[in-house]
Structure 1
């Protein structure tokens, strides 16, 4: 029986290599689709946690995990267990090491698959986000060096992840791109992912799939960088950028609304575009627009801090001596993930200046900031707000109730989230009409930001 036939009949065993934000939801969906699933990760503590039925991922409830375990999901840190699998979905983390893409986990995972995969037909799928050309330069190289005969006993495909943490789309509702360099490999990978998602979209090479993923996140990063630059200009000329965006968004074609914020965070938007800019410079074709947008987003935390400094000084308080309540530490609303979060960068900078911060985030239990492990409060406290010199809103979690902020001296709102009927002085990022410290006013708009998206 061919690997494609085994997948179609659900007799294939799927190994998910890397059981994190991407791997765990995939593993649960493969188990729900009727596959025997091995979840392999080098973190034994986390694997033991999964075996006990406790999920460490926001988007995978304990009940969903337990259902997967009952259906045959087997979390393990023992690589020898991989010999039972013939489908390998690699979902290990990638990132940047200085100015160079860090593909060390992809290399290690590929070596592990080459070493432990059975001596028969297998499918290797890369669902990690990688730079265009990674399958050719790294994955196939590692598989060959491990003795795998590519396109004969080892099929290779790239199916980029499209997880929507804290968002409105579930894994099985999101179309997935499937890229492979032969029709046979592509068809086999589509058979696998058609089992867990609404639709697969084939492209003619692994490199095209890799580039599609980086394009998706670069598109968002560039547009966020654009609106952040326009927001700063709006402040300078006395225009409310939120009103401008709402007005432009009434056009039914040719415009998509993006909103300003204190920067970009998460695993994707701050990282994936840098894969492209690194590759462009390596190939002698710099992507200057992408580089400039990335630079603009990287400067937003400093801009926020400067705006807060101005507001504090108008109240006779120096930033260095201020007590600031900070609302939100994650990279986007309604998740507990603080990876690359601009909120954390801002908090670190505030502490470095001498300010005292009181973080509030219902999704974060602990956060290392300023050399200390802080435990954020879960809700906004009226007494704490009244005793602060300022409140800084960085993430608009649905759980936040803003009425207690009426006791605060003033709020700097980077999300345009404070209701207009609250009797508290509010300055909004990008609101040029409230630039003057003596003219703080309540916001009149409640449009929410889409800056924080993974």
Structure 2
């Protein structure tokens, strides 16, 4: 027999990774390390040229890993016809939401490229991009069929959603991969392929079940983050420390998982994936009220942070209009340079619209667009700037931040609750009920002055 699963078992299959972003590049490198011939297809010429030079643009993959893959035969390319000798195709292209509807255009284009260039033998197609439940059946299979392939026959189709966690503590191979197939043959072929690069696979009954698994994972996180964000805002009003209560609740050995409040949610997954469910629910006339409300709560957090800055300044007799802030952290999470959907962008834009000026510090981010202008954040905190600005606003707790350098600040708004109590200046913490008492004290004693 010479079916695609047999070729995978013999490591005699060529693996094609379509889309070489933060998901596709790790897949390509790990399959190369596992001994497969690997072709990487991406329409971004700059990316491909960097990879050919042995340079990585993905934080969890270093230059040495890319160079090793290149040395082992990994072939990055912008030419779709390079896919012609591949046996297994892993599609890891971006998806998103545009005007409240799922944007599956990249999935359609990638599927069409595979169909047009796949060899005339049995091959395996594995979707890895996050999609709405049912997308494999509604988009991938029809696109393959429209372009000359026979899904389930000459093209086995499966879905294995990515679980990449940039900057996370788990190695790639330690994270189980869920694999869904609409037939035993399709599921088994994809499971065999992925078992070459991870320690555990989790087979589920269908592609739809795998698609739903991915969306549920991130909706769970989004809803729980919204819960603690709403509790944090409430705690500020009733004078109780929300984080202390959450930490105490986390000591319960069952029935509770602690999440932390913050300035909003960012990245590609948490702000986006739950909207696949809410869109689908609206299409079917079944509104997912809890998910919609949770999304709205998280979307409100950037404005809440700006309001907190404004209130803290007012308590000191200053106006936000005309004030200056040193903003620490622009990326969407600690220790990564990804700014996609980062709440820091909304916060900084809102500060600007209210008349404040900002100076950015983020050692992970080379450049970012704020209010239409391209800005290069500073790499480190300048103590002189700390003393010059009206407020230091901490949005992201990067490990490289040395907080003793902000000891000269008159006011710090800390959205991550990492500035210690012994800090010399005034500190306003997100979700800290003690700030209610602090603000009232400041109002009674602060001189009525304008900004510096």
Hey, what's the Cα distance between the residues in 2 that align with 1:381 and 1:252?
43
1:103 matched to which residue of 2?
Answer: 104
1:127 matched to which residue of 2?
Answer: 128
Aligned runs of 1:276-355 on 2, under 5 Å? 276-355=277-356
1:139 paired with 2:140, answer: yes
Hey, what's the Cα distance between the residues in 2 that align with 1:9 and 1:439?
72
1:426 matched to which residue of 2?
Answer: 427
Per the alignment, in what secondary structure is the counterpart of residue 120 of structure 1? coil
Shift of 1:440: 7.8
Hey, what's the Cα distance between the residues in 1 that align with 2:405 and 2:391?
13
Shift of 1:438: 3.8
Shift of 1:439: 5.9
Per the alignment, in what secondary structure is the counterpart of residue 417 of structure 1? coil
Check 1:426–1:439 CA distance in 2 against 1; reply closer, same or farther (3 A cut): farther
Q: Structure 1-normalised TM-score?
A: 0.96
1:29 paired with 2:30, answer: yes
1:446 matched to which residue of 2?
Answer: none
1:397 matched to which residue of 2?
Answer: 398
Hey, what's the Cα distance between the residues in 1 that align with 2:167 and 2:421?
26
Hey, what's the Cα distance between the residues in 2 that align with 1:316 and 1:74?
62
CA contact under 8 A between 1:361 and 1:378: conserved in structure 2?
Answer: yes
Check 1:405–1:210 CA distance in 2 against 1; reply closer, same or farther (3 A cut): same
Shift of 1:355: 1.0
1:172 paired with 2:148, answer: no
Q: Deviations over 1:250-295 (max 9, x none)?
A: 1111110001001100000000000000001111111100000000
Structure 1 window deviating more from structure 2 (266-275 vs 307-316): it is 307-316
Hey, what's the Cα distance between the residues in 1 that align with 2:6 and 2:321?
66
CA contact under 8 A between 1:217 and 1:272: conserved in structure 2?
Answer: yes
Q: Deviations over 1:180-232 (max 9, x none)?
A: 00001000000000000010000010000000000000000000001111111
1:89 matched to which residue of 2?
Answer: 90
1:260 paired with 2:261, answer: yes
Per the alignment, in what secondary structure is the counterpart of residue 320 of structure 1? coil
Q: Which portions of structure 1, spanning 4 or more consecutive aligned residues, are displaced by more than 3 angstroms?
A: 436-441
Per the alignment, in what secondary structure is the counterpart of residue 47 of structure 1? helix
Q: Structure 2-normalised TM-score?
A: 0.96
* Root mean square deviation of aligned Cα: 1.1
2:80 matched to which residue of 1?
Answer: 79
Hey, what's the Cα distance between the residues in 2 that align with 1:440 and 1:404?
26
Per the alignment, in what secondary structure is the counterpart of residue 321 of structure 1? coil
Unaligned runs of 5+ in 1: 442-454
2:47 matched to which residue of 1?
Answer: 46
Shift of 1:350: 1.0
Shift of 1:422: 2.2
1:58 matched to which residue of 2?
Answer: 59
CA contact under 8 A between 1:426 and 1:440: conserved in structure 2?
Answer: no
Hey, what's the Cα distance between the residues in 2 that align with 1:62 and 1:416?
35
1:231 matched to which residue of 2?
Answer: 232
